[in-house]
Each structure stands twice: as C-alpha cells, then as structure tokens.
Amino acid sequence: MSAFEPGAVTGPGLLPAPPRVPAPHPAPNPTLPPLPTWRVWLAAARPFSLTASVIPVLIGTALSVANGTFYPLLFLLALASGVLLQVGTNLVNSYYDYLNGLDNAENKAHNQPVLVLGWMQPQTMLKGSFVVFLLAVLLGVYLVAVRGWLIAVLGIIGLLGGFFYTARPVNYKYLGLGVPLVFILMGVLMVVGAYAVQTGRATWAAVVASLPISCLVAAILHANDLRDFHDDRKAKVTTLTTLIGPRRGAWFYDVLIAGAYLTVVLNVILGLFPVWTLAVFLTLPEAFRLMQRVHRGGNQIIMVEPLTARLHMLFGLILTAGVLVSLL
C-alpha cells in the first residue's frame, strides 16, 4: 500500500499471480464532508510522494550541467514526464490495492483513503491513470524526437514498470520484487534518463552516480512494507519483508540507508562527485533516528515511510547542490 503486493499460476513458467481475494464492497458513502473534485484527485495523486520522481531528475540533470550541458526546456519536460509517470503509478497502485482488498476500512489505506472512504469510484481512478500515462507518453514523444531511441527505450521501461507495479498480469509488487525494481526504476533509470535527456547518451558513470538516491527510494518502499507486514501477511501478499521477516527487514533497511552514504563516498573517490557532495552527511543524524525507529518497531514504525521520504528529499537536494556548487 505504498506510493510506489501470490497462488495460481498464470501460465507455464510464469510467476504466480496474486491470491484470489473477494471483490471489495462498493465504495461506501464518504465518511468526511465531500471535497472539491480537484482536491480528491490531488489526494489520489499523493503529492507528498512526488519528490521520489523529482529528486532523481534533479540529480541526473545536475550531473549533465557539471559536464557542460543544460537545456532548460528538456529538463522541464523530463521533470514533468517523470512526475506524471509516478502519479499514474500511484493511481494504478491504489486501484489494484483496493480491488485486491489490501486497502480497506481497517487500515484506512495508510494515507491513501480516496477509494476506501468512497471519495472516488474505482473505475474513475483507473481511467484517470490512463489519462496521466497518456500525457507522459505525449511528452516522451517530443523527447524521443529530440534525443532518439535511447529515450524511447528508457521511457517504455518506465511506463511498463509503473503500470505493472500492481496491474495484472505482472503485478510485481505482490511478488516480492517491489523494492529491487523500485531501486532500478525510480532510482537508476530516472537519474540515467534525466542525464540522457540532456546529453543524448547514457554512461556507466551516471549509473554509479545514481546509486545513493536509488538506495533511498528503495528504503521508502521498504519502510512501507515494514509497516504493512502484518496486513500483507494476513492478505497472503509477498513482499521482501514477508519473505525475510521484520527483524531481518529492519537490518535490510539499515543496509539501504548506509548504502546511500557509502556510495556518495564511492562517487567522490572515483571522481564522479565533487567533495562538496559529502555535505549529505549532515543528514546522518536523521538517518540514525529512522534506523532506531525501525528497530524499536510497534507504533514507532508507522511514520518511518514519510520520514524516509523526507530524508530522500533533503539528501537529494543537498547532493544536487553539492554537484552544482563545484561549478562556482
């Protein structure tokens, strides 16, 4: 049940599909005073989560600027298409989590109440996701026209990865693949994609430079899975946390957080980041507090996901600034 959840076999050699879950009851009458339509859509888009797509675009663009290349229009288009892809993913995720009974009246969908509280009909949300994805494609067509086939490949991977996050028949979130694939799609792919939009090429240096923010965006989803461990296990949903257990899951959270800082050091050693980027260590106290929360468990873990998202944002902004300061 994040921003970003197995049973019968769908075919020879294919991964197991999600368990059959009774269809949810029709959306109940709203439990809060009706909101204006635009506010309902805003809530469904989960704006608090959108830094997960903004930050990697900023970092990839900053790397290009540091190498002497910057096209403002292409940056804005890449930023808009990245945000649209995430919004579309959020809408599809909410639709299928509700359809599969994972978002329900008991958990109020943990900050995703739009369908559970009856503020919007499920089919309306699904149709909205199609519109958002279409807008992302239209922006992508222009970027492809300017930068060529590489952007097309990256864009198609991003689009399919976003839609099939929870959509059938792939729904890899329900198969324990959410964290590793978010690491790639919302981390590596977006940083490299933003860099490629500016330069017209992808490099291994950009891949290595993407590792810190990839660790943190994966940590956001993993924090969500840690929080939802009991709900997911009850619903027979497979996540990385249900596979390895909450205790090992807490240690893996530590690995992801530590990995963000250590890979910044690696990039500095390799000469890919200027020394100014070590300023991200100013956020280390917050990182330690989050790790302590995770290991305490219980109610302490409820707020770890949004707080990890905040760490991701602060870390990413400082990292971007550190790259750009080297130009002064």
- The tens digit of pLDDT for each residue in 154-206 reads 999 999 999 999 888 888 988 899 999 999 999 999 999 999 999 999 999 99
How many structural domains comprise the chain?
A: 1
pTM: 0.86
In a domain, 8, yes or no: no
Count of Cβ atoms closer than 10 Å to residue 34 Cβ: 11
The answer as to whether 18 is a domain residue is no
Is residue 296 in a domain?
Answer: yes
DSSP letters spanning 193-239? HHHHHHHS---HHHHHHTHHHHHHHHHHHHHHHHHTHHHHHHTT-B-
pLDDT > 60? residue 114: yes
In a domain, 20, yes or no: no
d(CA 191, CA 207): 8
Residue 219's domain comprises 38-325
Q: For residue 216, give the nearest of 109, 75, 319 by alpha carbon.
A: 319
Residue 312 is assigned to a structural domain of this protein: yes
pLDDT > 70 fraction of the chain, expressed in percent and rounded: 87
Q: Is residue 253 part of a domain?
A: yes
In a domain, 130, yes or no: yes
- Rounded CA separation 139/299 (Å): 42
Q: Residue 48 above 60 pLDDT?
A: yes
Gap between the Cα atoms of 328 and 326, Å rounded = 6
Is residue 276 included in any domain, yes or no?
yes
pLDDT of residue 8: 38
